Structure 1
Amino acid sequence: MNDERLERLEAWHEQDEFEEIVDAITEVPEEERDYILVNHLGRALSNMERYQEAVEQFLSVEAEGQNDPLWHYRIGLAYYYLEQYENAREAFEAADRLEPGDEDTQEFLEWIRNKTADELTEEVIEEPVDTVHSVTETIIEAAPGIHPESTSFWNDSPAYVDQYVLSPPTDEQIEAVEEQLVFKLPTFYMNMMKLHNGGVPHYRHFAVSQAESNEKIHIEILNILGIGREKTHSLCGEAGSRVIIEQGGYPEIGVVLSECPSDSEVVMLDYRESGNAGEPEVVHVNKAEGYKITWLAPNVETFIQGLVNEENQPANLEGSL
């Protein structure tokens, strides 16, 4: 393959210019596309959520990809988002055999195991959830409507999964994170993360009342940080809560729950009233306005259920997470 073309494709990938990649490669006649070019095309199609087309591209070079762990990983990812979990499992297991210990491969295998759990687990998940149940009874009831099989709340595009989503945390991992943060995490949030540990929601806007004008504005979040330290954007990651607070000079009132599109704003769990082991409130902090703190919600559950999409339609949490 032409080195200059390869550099251009890699640059577009880093810039999330996936349409540019598809357009450039499809201009090349099919008979002139080599293995590397087809893999770039398949990866770009997956990143555009055109998973069936991606599978077709990867299968067109199946013979060449048999000993390439990256080929197995990429087609496995496309199968996963098509919900063809058996095909995905076989692909990720092949990738794991060829390149043992890859963390992303292990994460997908764990998610597949969770999604293809025994019949008892499936029956529990499929049972209707009463959204007025106590948030402390069970994982499903603790997060009303949170459903690990659905993607209508979470935007699980490959790029977002790679950047933000971790494996479900164990109780031991949660305790370790709490010890490092010096704050007890809210039960609703912990149970939510056991079903989908961090990521980018489709619903990212929250209405804020402005008492002085009686109007409403919306703050926007970029993500919800997951429990762990493996991903850069997780609670204890390299760009996690403590790092954001220290580098941004934010007030020491608790834990950063969400980053915002503006790097001068964050949404935080505020423990000033509850104490470090209590139920925190949720606030927005704006560094550009002298670290102005705006109250958003009395707890995480209320905040999550108050998120709306760009058209300002409330998130339907029943069966949505």
Structure 2
Amino acid sequence: MVRIYGDFDLTNFWYESDYASCEYVDGLPNQLAINAVQERLGYTLPAAYIELSCHQNGGQPRKTCIRSPSRTTWAEDHVAITGIYSIGSRKRCSLCGEFGSAFWVQEWGYPPIGIYFADCPSAGHDMICLDYRKCGPNGEPSVVHVDQEWDYRITFLAENFESFIRGLNSEAAFDN
């Protein structure tokens, strides 16, 4: 496997908790599982998402905030995430699980622009999505914040998944 993250240390990326283990973290995905999820979702997962999932498949990162270019319902200058979904369908917070990407589109009315892969502390009132509108289902998606409270307003966060992961900061970075 080509190492996408290179100098980025993934060994201390994840926060370990019983909640994360129960809701997000699944076994490491093999190619068969990856293919099945991609077929079910109708999109090719970014290589950086797959690489991260082959280190640990889903969970809660230690750094949970990323800068946004404009105000959201969460904050003036950033959004926060609770966890990143695993590749699979066994965990409630997995890409094809009970609260997976399709759930947010079908049950909550989120726009069908890609794959909803990270939830936020608002309990469903905003989500983080891989946005395939510009690149098509097999391209390299950008990462956006979708705000249900503001009529599903879409705010750009990162050019790609790797940039999103590298852009995560601790809450303390945004304390005023």
Q: Is the 8 A contact 2:131 2:143 kept in 1?
A: yes
Percent of paired sites with the same residue = 38
**What is the CA distance between 1:202 and its match in structure 2?**
1.2
Q: What is the alpha-carbon distance in structure 1 between the residues aligned to residue 96 and residue 137 of structure 2?
A: 17
Runs of 5+ consecutive residues of structure 1 not aligned to the other structure: 1-136, 314-321
Structure with higher helix content: 1
Q: What is the alpha-carbon distance in structure 2 between the residues aligned to residue 176 and residue 146 of structure 1?
A: 29
Structure with higher strand content: 2
Query: Is 2:62 aligned against 1:202?
Result: yes
- Indicate the structure whose relative CO is greater, using CA pairs within 8 Å and at least 6 residues apart: 2
Could you tell me which residue of structure 1 aligns to residue 131 of structure 2? Answer: 270
Task: Give runs of aligned pairs for residues 1-321 of structure 1, distance below 5 A.
Answer: 138=2, 141-144=3-6, 145-147=8-10, 150=11, 152-210=12-70, 217-262=77-122, 263-312=124-173
Q: Deviations over 1:86-105 (max 9, x none)?
A: xxxxxxxxxxxxxxxxxxxx
TM-score (ref. length: structure 2): 0.91
Q: What is the alpha-carbon distance in structure 2 between the residues aligned to residue 272 and residue 159 of structure 1?
A: 33
TM-score (ref. length: structure 1): 0.51
Q: What's the Cα RMSD here? A: 1.7
Q: Is the 8 A contact 1:146 1:192 kept in 2?
A: no
Q: What is the alpha-carbon distance in structure 1 between the residues aligned to residue 92 and residue 9 of structure 2?
A: 25
| Structure 2 counterpart SS, 1:301 | helix
Q: What is the alpha-carbon distance in structure 2 between the residues aligned to residue 209 and residue 273 of structure 1?
A: 19
**What is the CA distance between 1:154 and its match in structure 2?**
0.8
Residue type of the alignment partner of 2:68: V
Q: Deviations over 1:175-225 (max 9, x none)?
A: 0000000000000110110110000111110111239xxxx6110111000
Answer with 1 or 2: which has the greater Rg.
1
**What is the CA distance between 1:158 and its match in structure 2?**
2.3
Q: What is the alpha-carbon distance in structure 2 between the residues aligned to residue 187 and residue 264 of structure 1?
A: 28
Q: What is the alpha-carbon distance in structure 2 between the residues aligned to residue 166 and residue 186 of structure 1?
A: 18
| Structure 1 counterpart SS, 2:165 | helix
Runs of 5+ consecutive residues of structure 2 not aligned to the other structure: none
Which stretches of structure 1, 4 residues or more, deviate above 4 A after TM superposition? none
Q: What is the alpha-carbon distance in structure 2 between the residues aligned to residue 302 and residue 233 of structure 1?
A: 22
Could you tell me which residue of structure 2 aligns to residue 77 of structure 1? Answer: none
Q: What is the alpha-carbon distance in structure 2 between the residues aligned to residue 159 and residue 250 of structure 1?
A: 25
**What is the CA distance between 1:146 and its match in structure 2?**
4.3
